Amino acid sequence: MALIVQKYGGSSVADAGAIRNVARRIADSRAAGNRTVAVVSAMSDTTDELIALAGQISDSPDPREMDVLLSTGELVSCTLLAMAIRSMGTDAISLSGAQAGIRTDTGHGKARIAMVDTSRISEELDQGKVVIVAGFQGVSDDMNVTTLGRGASDLSAVAIAAALGADRCEVYSDVEGIFTADPRLVPDARRLDEVGFEEMLEMASYGAKMAPRSIEMAMVYDVPILVASSLREGPGTLIHKGEGMKFPVGEIRNHVRSIAADSNVAKITIPGVPERTGSQASVFEPLTEAGISVDVIVQNVAVDGSADISFTVERTDFSRAIQVAEQIARDLGAGVPIGADGLAKVSIVGTGMQNAPGYASRMFRALADAEIAIEMISTSEIRITCLVADTKIGDAARALHVAFQLDRPS
Ligand code: ASP
Ligand code: MG
C-alpha cells in the first residue's frame, strides 16, 4: 500500500464543481488502495480577498490576527472537500494545520516549520480515512495560528510527505507540469518529463510556480514531487534527485533545461561607498535587519578609494529598501542611492553548464541580437541570470528559448 500526499492549488478548488472534481480524484486514489493525504490551498483568490479586506479595516493589521484571518481560507476549502469526499461514500476528515501537527516558529506571515508531529494524521489514516489538511498554516509553541508565506501550501504538502515518509508528493494545479519557459511568455514552451531538484530550485526562485521553500525541503528529505494538472489527465513533470536523467550518458548535449523569467525586481545603487575593510558588511547588515532579502550584488572596481555597490531586491521591498539605503549612505558618507524598479531577471537554467564552455557568451549574443541591454549579470553553478528592462522580458525569454533550442524535443 503506497502512501501518497496530494496537494491541490486554489484554482483546482475554485468552486463547488471543482471541489467535487478534486474529491473524486482523492476518492479514486483511496479506492486504488493508497493511504491518501490531501493538502489544499484556499479557493482561488480567497487569500488576496482576505488581505484586501483587512486593508480596509486597518493600515497595519496585527500580524497575529492577520494569520488567523488568512488561515480561514484554507479551512473553508478543506472542510468542503472533506464533505464532498464523504458524500461519495469515502470516509474523510479535515484537519487544520495545527491539528495536523504543523509546528512553527512565531514568525507571523512567514513562519518556518519547526517540526511535523504526524501522530494525528497517522491515527486517522490507520482508521482508513482520507485526511484533508489545510495548507499554508501551522501553530507556534505559544498556540498561536501562523501562516507560512504566500504560496506555501506546497511547503505544507512536502513537509507532511517528508514527515510521513510518503512514497510521493503530487502537486496538482491548472498547469500540466514544469515547462521549458513560462508558456504565457513563450508560446512554444514544452513540458519537461523530469527536472532535478537543484534545477527546479533555480526555476522556482526565478519565476516558475512552485514555492522555493517547498523544493528546498523536498531536496533535503528527498521527496519526489509530481507536478500535474487536476483538470486534464497527463504525465506531468517529476521533480526528483535526477539520477538516471541523462541518458544516453555523454557530455556533449544541451545543458540548458529552461528559461526562467521574473519581473518582480528592483535595483538600488549606492554610489561612492568608501573603500575599507567591512564596508560591504555595513551596507548589507541594515538591510538584513530590515528583513529585506538581497539577490544579485555587483560592486565595481574602486577608483579614488570608493566603489559603487548595486544590488537587487524584490519590487515589493523596493520603497523600504530605498529608505534603508539612504540611511546607510548617510552613515557611510556615500553618495545618494539611485533606484530603478522596472527591471526583470531572465535566466538560463541547467545542471552541467559550469564546466561546459560557451553558455554565457551565447546568452549575451542572443540578447544582443534581440537588441536587449543587460543591466547586471549573476551566475551560479547551474544558472546564468541577466537583468533586463521589464518591458523586454518576453522578447528576452523568446530569444533565449530559440537560442538554446528548447523549442525542439531534446
Ligand atoms: N492560499 C495561500 C496563498 O494564496 C497559500 C497557497 O495558495 O499556497 O498564498
Ligand atoms: Mg498556490
State the pLDDT at residue 246.
Answer: 55
How far does the centroid of ligand 1 lie from the alpha carbon of residue 228, in Å? Answer: 18
How far does the centroid of ligand 1 lie from the alpha carbon of residue 80, in Å? Answer: 17
408: number of Cβ within 10 Å: 9
Name residues with Cβ closer than 5 Å to ligand 2, which is an ion. Answer: 9, 151
Cβ of 156 less than 6 Å from ligand 1: no
pLDDT score of 206 more than 80: no
State the pLDDT at residue 242.
Answer: 72
DSSP of 120-154: HHHHHHHTT-EEEEETTEEEETTS-EEE--TTTHH
State the pLDDT at residue 117.
Answer: 98
**CATH node for 3-174:** 3.40.1160.10
pLDDT digit string (tens) for 304-318?
Answer: 889 999 999 999 899
Percentage, residues of the chain above pLDDT 90: 80
In sequence order, the β-bridge partners of residue 259 are: 348
* Signed CA dihedral, 301, 206, 112, 160: sign only: negative
**Cα–Cα distance measured from residue 235 to residue 242, given in angstroms and rounded to the nearest whole number:** 17
How far does the centroid of ligand 2 lie from the alpha carbon of residue 70, in Å? Answer: 14
Residue in the block written with cell 528559448: 401
Ligand 1 pocket mutation, candidates 11, 44, 150, criterion most atoms within 8 A of CB? 150
Ligand 1 pocket mutation, candidates 41, 49, 66, criterion most atoms within 8 A of CB? 41
Answer for the pair 96, 132: CB distance below 8 angstroms, yes or no: no
371: number of Cβ within 10 Å: 9
Atom of ligand 1 nearest to the CA of 136: 5
Ligand 1, atom 6: closest residue by C-alpha: 151
In the chain the first and final C-alpha atoms are separated, in Å, by 35
Ligand 1, atom 9: closest residue by C-alpha: 150
Cβ of 152 less than 6 Å from ligand 1: yes
pLDDT digit string (tens) for 131-183?
Answer: 999 999 999 999 999 999 999 999 999 999 999 999 999 999 888 899 999 98
Cβ of 153 less than 6 Å from ligand 1: yes
What's the predicted TM-score (pTM) here? 0.85
Cβ of 97 less than 6 Å from ligand 1: no
Interval 220-231 mean pLDDT: 94
State the pLDDT at residue 243.
Answer: 53
pLDDT band, very low/low/confident/very high, at 211 (cuts 50, 70, 90): confident
Atom of ligand 1 nearest to the CA of 9: 7
Interval 271-299 mean pLDDT: 92
Give domain limits for the chain.
3-174
**Cα–Cα distance measured from residue 6 to residue 295, given in angstroms and rounded to the nearest whole number:** 32
State the pLDDT at residue 250.
Answer: 55
Answer for the pair 299, 308: CB distance below 8 angstroms, yes or no: yes
Atom of ligand 1 nearest to the CA of 10: 7
pLDDT score of 121 more than 70: yes
User: Quick one: 183 exposed, middle or buried, by C-beta within 10 A (0-12, 13-18, 19+)?
Assistant: middle
State the pLDDT at residue 207.
Answer: 60
State the pLDDT at residue 332.
Answer: 93
Cβ of 41 less than 6 Å from ligand 1: yes
